[in-house]
Amino acid sequence: MDLLKGFLTVFFIPILVSNIKFPTTSNDLLVVLCGLFVVLGHAFPVYIGFKGGKAVATSFGVFIWLSPIPIAIAFGIWVLTVVISRYVSLGSIISSLTLTGAIIVFENGPFNTGLFLTALSIVVSILIILKHISNIQRIIAGTETKVFKS
């Protein structure tokens, strides 16, 4: 549901509230702002005291529409990291950084049409890392929960 929330926000909201035509693109500031605010709204929801999720799935949904090739690369890195390390949180952190790098490479980076998208990916990566600080501390301490226990 979180993934769908991110996707539908960048897909439909700009069309409903402005003269942006279908399909929406990452070149439009409004589309990128919708992506930013749905991620922030997920991570810091007003209705539960600003204590929300870690923003990974919602961000994934946003970038599926805005930047499909870089998100596919980031997802592959997430899978590889989780399989090797058995830490979902580490996969989330590394894949968020990978997404920013892939956007710079594949989406004209911070130049030309990729400026807003690059900025969004940087903000989302920082947010994901900050939301995972407790996980990072547990990884360092060796107490983080692993998947695929042997």
Q: In the block, which residue shows the tokens 């107490």? A: 143
**What confidence tens digit (pLDDT) does each residue in 37-90 have?**
999 999 999 999 989 999 999 999 999 999 999 999 999 999 999 999 999 999
In whole numbers, what is the pLDDT of the chain averaged over residues?
Answer: 91
DSSP for 83-133, please give it.
Answer: HHH--HHHHHHHHHHHHHHHHHHHS-TTSGGGHHHHHHHHHHHHHHHHHTH
Asked if residue 150 belongs to a domain, the reply is no
Is the residue at 147 inside a domain?
Answer: no
Q: What mean pLDDT comes out for the span 103-114?
A: 79
Q: Is residue 149 part of a domain?
A: no
Domain that holds residue 132: 2-141
- Look at the pTM and tell me if it is higher than 0.75: yes
Q: Which sign, positive or negative, has the C-alpha torsion 52, 23, 105, 109?
A: negative
